[in-house]
Chain A
Amino acid sequence: MSSSVKIKTLTIDERQVGARENQTILEVARENGIKIPTLCYLKGLSPYGGCRMCIVEIAGSPKLLPSCMTTVEEGMVVSTNSDRIKKYRKNLLELYFSERNHVCSVCASNGYCELQSMAQKVEMSHVHFPYMYPHLDVDATHERYVLDHNRCIACTRCVRVCDEIEGAHTLDIKDRGIEVRIITDLDRPWGESETCTQCGKCVHVCPTGALIERGKSVGEMSKRKQLLPYLTKMREAHE
């Protein structure tokens, strides 16, 4: 470590930890074995700050802040798992389930899905909000992959990997809030895409059953999560 890097000291969940000045709270927590749940964050991709699962409380601030986007400060007192945060996370997750159509028992990602396991992690026993049952499409025009909007949580991991790692920028995001959709090229069917290299990176970083390989049936779609750290390492080695 070069001497120009400043070290900061802060407290996370009543533990004193040291951090480099540009690190996020999430990075420091993970280095110290403190678990903060995340959905949109993926090591190797730029942080997005969209899912809000990683929220933490900072003493003296009334707002809950996403730890994947918040840089450490000297003397910060952070709490990652208060009752208030737990309740907030559970509510967020219930909204995810109520806003799209998730039927785990018939989903290709059943047993491998990060949304499904997150529900278990935050002890979500059921969804209090009324389900919305939106009518959503499944884009099955690509010869190798399927995009099912019913299962998408708009985390944009796919958009970021396609842009930042593959460099194809086939995937993008349109509209906001409840109307948000993942699109391919200029909102044309994926199968007609002229930019997609068929690399499959989007499929393997997708936390849910929204992006799957064609022909995968219930509970068959496990993802190769090691892919991204490997690619990032290779890239860093070349730089």
Chain B
Amino acid sequence: MKKKLTLATLWLDGCSGCHMSLVDVDERLIEVAEIYDIVFSPLVDVKEFPENVDVTLLEGAISTDEDVEMVKRVRKSTKTLIAFGDCAVTANVPSMRNHFKLEDVFKRGYLETTPGNDIIPNENIPKLLEKAYPVHHFVHVDVFLQGCPPSADNIFYTLAELAEGRTPELSQRARFG
């Protein structure tokens, strides 16, 4: 039997929808589990991002100082980094705050939408960047998997192609939105 590859999955500024789509791979998850060992994931109880990961599915935009640290860490330890879904590829919905001033974003998020609250928290939480960015703004990305969320078929296809040592041809399968 071929040696199994290692797979990590994580989400930063995303809604977990792409991960839901990953679970939608359904019974083919068994095939995925035959090719890959899942070494890090919200679905697995491991705290530290491991070394020497073959493939990482990274969901979500990069929006805080902690996201930046994490994405650099992930890049260093990953052979094939997949920008997983539109938020990772374009910053998508998280980027809708980008044409407002950060100050106004906080006011909207904490004050105007929460009657009676007059506190904008600023301790023990990650620091929001001026803007939300796509993953490739900070690190090199090997595969761009478009879709909000990407279809289960495209996720499975991508993982299967990579396991065969091929580059997934996504342009005619996937699109934004």
Contacts and interface: CB of A to CB of B under 8 A. Distances in A.
Interface of A: 97, 101-107, 110-111, 116-117, 119-120, 123, 125-127, 130-131, 133-136, 219
Interface string B131-170: 1001011000100101010000000000000000000001
Contact of A104 (B91, B131, B141, B177): B177
7 contacts: A101-B95, A106-B96, A125-B146, A126-B83, A131-B91, A131-B134, A136-B99
A67 to B, nearest CB: 23
B99 A103 contact: no
Interface of B: 83, 86, 89-93, 95-96, 98-100, 131, 134, 136-137, 141, 144, 146, 148, 170-172, 174-177
B87 to A, nearest CB: 9
Contacts of B144: 125-126
A231 to B, nearest CB: 30
Given A103-B92, A126-B89, A131 B98 contact: yes
A116 B146 CA distance: 12
Contact of A105 (B83, B136, B177): B177
A127 B146 CA distance: 12
Contacts of B174: 120
Given A116-B176, A130-B137, A105 B92 contact: yes
B92 A125 contact: no
A134 B99 contact: yes
Contacts of A97: 90
Contacts of A127: 90, 134
Given A120-B175, A126-B89, 16 more contacts: A101-B98, A101-B99, A103-B92, A103-B93, A104-B176, A104-B177, A105-B176, A105-B177, A106-B93, A116-B176, A120-B174, A125-B144, A125-B171, A131-B98, A134-B99, A135-B99
